[in-house]
Amino acid sequence: MQEWWRSAVIYQVYPRSYQDSTGNGVGDLAGITQRLDHIAELGVDCIWLSPIFTSPQADMGYDVSDYLSVDPLFGDLDDLDALIAGAHTRRLKVIVDQVLSHTSDQHLWFKESRTSRDNDKADWYVWADPLPDGSPPTNWHSHFGGPAWEFDAQRGQYYLHNFLAAQPDLNFHNPDVVEAILETCKFWLDRGLDGFRLDTVNYYFHDRQLRSNPAAQAKPQVMATDLYGMQDNIYNKTRPENLAFLEKLRALTDQYDDIMMVGEVGEVGRRSINIMGDYTAGQNRLHMAYSFAMLSSDFSAAHFRDCIEGFQTGAPDGHPYWSFSNHDVIRQVSRWADHAVSEDSMARLTCAMLMAFEGTIGIYQGEELGQTETELEFAELTDPPAIRFWPGVKGRDGCRTPMVWERDAPNAGFSTGTPWLPVKPPQAAKAVNQQGAGSIMAHYKKMIAYRKNSPVLTQGKTTFFTLPEPLLAFTRTTTDATLTCIFNLSKERQTVPLKAAADVAIGAAVTLTDDTLTLDGNGYAYLSHGAEAPF
């Protein structure tokens, strides 16, 4: 029997922004529980919760100060238990973000570590002496701007932070750290979670020799915070020791039934696909991995084909997780607007594409509404890099604004108080209670159901056709069935001659004659046919 996660559709919930049950303006676990029917009715298989652990919230929960408790902002352990129980009653799995590469500087481990060079936790973080001129130990950059090193006067040393200075990196070369992290994961598995989404999974280890990175071989597309991309980041992440740690994590999860781990590979381009392959190879590492490969502005048939074929080649026994949006990037409908006939046509097209891809599929909350990026003023921002580098960088707040439930209710039904990020009219217009027959939400339900009821889409292998841009086309095949999927990634009509007879199983903006398939802008079709391929 195929494991549940291999063909699953996973729905990401950003807890701060889903449903506020208390009126304090911040979403919480009880609010998510209130909305479980909405998630279940979409037909998805699993909920991924962004971090809910105790945190000062310097980076919205990705700075954990206690791995074994729920932040009071979101509720408590009982609220999490109720959410898990409610989800399981609805046949939904629940996984939670695990942020293991770094902690908050308010974590008790770090507070002890920084007191001296010889305490019990002295070597639990990455500490290093200044260079003779007082400068940082390496040239490594932080993702959020500036050096990846912060000087601590108490120890007279620098500590490593790949993100905010308030997020010091753990020293995974220390076996005590590895054991402590494994114990925290065991705590949550014992509590009934169905697995983990592992944040920045290729950042656990650093180069022990503290070698500086070389310059990037290709000139990066530099933005205000992208000094990071000007280096070939070979010494500060994706170190070979990562693989042994992943094997330890897998050995832990294999002690439980039906557990799944999906890792976020913090890398772009072909390298990210190669890392996905390494991290999912065999049966003793991650169950699956995803990268930012499909979260960029690139919207071409060649790009999507390269991502999928690259994974097929690099990880023939691995398993991919594909998504177009999450809490860190501009929403797909807005990100790819230049290629869209309309917002709705892009929402329908990208849903149909995802549901046709081989592997596991991820949806970010609000995508089922065709939600767009929220335009924010500087005074409304909460995201650290956006505040630091405004106006050159808009940051991540625009994709994190609250879920909208009722168009005309205060804050679109998200909260009776003042929400932590504003709900604006363009987003409220797409509220759940506006999504009737023929809506984007109805489209998502239909496409998810079609995928789940189609063995060829949940189990079939992928073979691409070579068609001119902007046409993406491939066949999904099992021993019993074949389905050909074709997508027009442009606003212009495209016509394709047919070599064999076919029928449209499901599609939009498509016309089929005996010898021609015509796709209007953003049109798509799933084609059923005989043994001979239609193109």
Give the confidence band of 192 by pLDDT, cuts at 50, 70, 90.
very high
DSSP state string for 281-340: STTSS-SEEEESTTSSS---HHHHHHHHHHHHHH-TT--BEEES--TTS--HHHHTGGG-
pLDDT of amino acid 240: 97
At a CB cut-off of 8 Å and minimum separation 6, what does 217 contact?
Answer: 232
Based on the number of CB atoms within 10 Å of its own CB, is 209 exposed (0-12), middle (13-18) or buried (19 or more)?
exposed
pLDDT of amino acid 223: 42
- CA-closest candidate to residue 526, choices 352, 348, 299: 352
Taking 50 as the threshold, does the pLDDT of residue 211 lie above it?
A: yes
Residues above pLDDT 70, as percent of the chain = 98
pLDDT of amino acid 434: 98
At a CB cut-off of 8 Å and minimum separation 6, what does 284 contact?
Answer: 247, 250, 251
CA atoms of 205 and 160, how far apart (whole Å)? 11
Mean pLDDT, residues 229-237 taken together: 94
Mean pLDDT, residues 158-179 taken together: 98
pLDDT digits (tens, 9 = 90+) for 328-355: 999 999 999 999 999 999 999 999 999 9
pLDDT of amino acid 1: 61
pLDDT of amino acid 219: 58
Give the confidence band of 224 by pLDDT, cuts at 50, 70, 90.
very low
Taking 50 as the threshold, does the pLDDT of residue 25 lie above it?
A: yes
DSSP state string for 460-485: -EEEE----TTEEEEEEE-SS-EEEE
Mean pLDDT, residues 384-409 taken together: 93
Q: Report the b/e string of 391-414 with b at 16+ CB within 10 A.
A: eebbbbbbbbbbbbbebebebbbb
- CA-closest candidate to residue 272, choices 305, 314, 243, 225: 314
Mean pLDDT, residues 45-71 taken together: 98
Give the confidence band of 227 by pLDDT, cuts at 50, 70, 90.
confident
pLDDT of amino acid 398: 97
Amino acid at 212: S
pLDDT of amino acid 253: 97
Rg (CA), the chain: 23
Mean pLDDT, residues 226-239 taken together: 91
Catalytic residue among 267, 358, 373, 397: 267
Indicate if the alpha-carbon torsion angle 465, 310, 459, 455 is positive or negative.
negative
Taking 60 as the threshold, does the pLDDT of residue 268 lie above it?
A: yes
Taking 70 as the threshold, does the pLDDT of residue 64 lie above it?
A: yes
pLDDT of amino acid 193: 98
pLDDT of amino acid 171: 98
For the chain, the average pLDDT equals: 95
Give the confidence band of 222 by pLDDT, cuts at 50, 70, 90.
very low
Extract the tokens encoding 280. Answer: 């999912």
Mean pLDDT, residues 457-462 taken together: 96
Taking 60 as the threshold, does the pLDDT of residue 220 lie above it?
A: no
Instruction: Answer for the pair 357, 322: CB distance below 8 angstroms, yes or no.
Output: yes
Based on the number of CB atoms within 10 Å of its own CB, is 42 exposed (0-12), middle (13-18) or buried (19 or more)?
middle
Look up 150 and say whether it is catalytic.
no
pLDDT of amino acid 271: 85
pLDDT of amino acid 325: 97
pLDDT of amino acid 145: 86
For residue 270, what is the enclosing H or E element?
Answer: helix 269-280
Extract the tokens encoding 439. Answer: 């809506």
Which domains occur in the chain, in start order? 4-103+175-451 (3.20.20.80), 460-529 (2.60.40.1180)
Catalytic residue among 45, 79, 199, 264: 199
pLDDT of amino acid 226: 66
Look up 179 and say whether it is catalytic.
no
Which whole-number Å values give the CA distances from 226 to 220, 265, 295, 344, 458, in the listed order?
8, 17, 16, 32, 38
> Which runs of E-coded beta strand occur in 50-194?
53-54, 66-70, 93-98, 127-128, 149-152, 157-160
Mean pLDDT, residues 14-20 taken together: 98
pLDDT of amino acid 229: 87
pLDDT of amino acid 316: 84
User: What are the φ and ψ backbone dihedral angles of 430, each rounded to 5 degrees?
Assistant: -100, 20
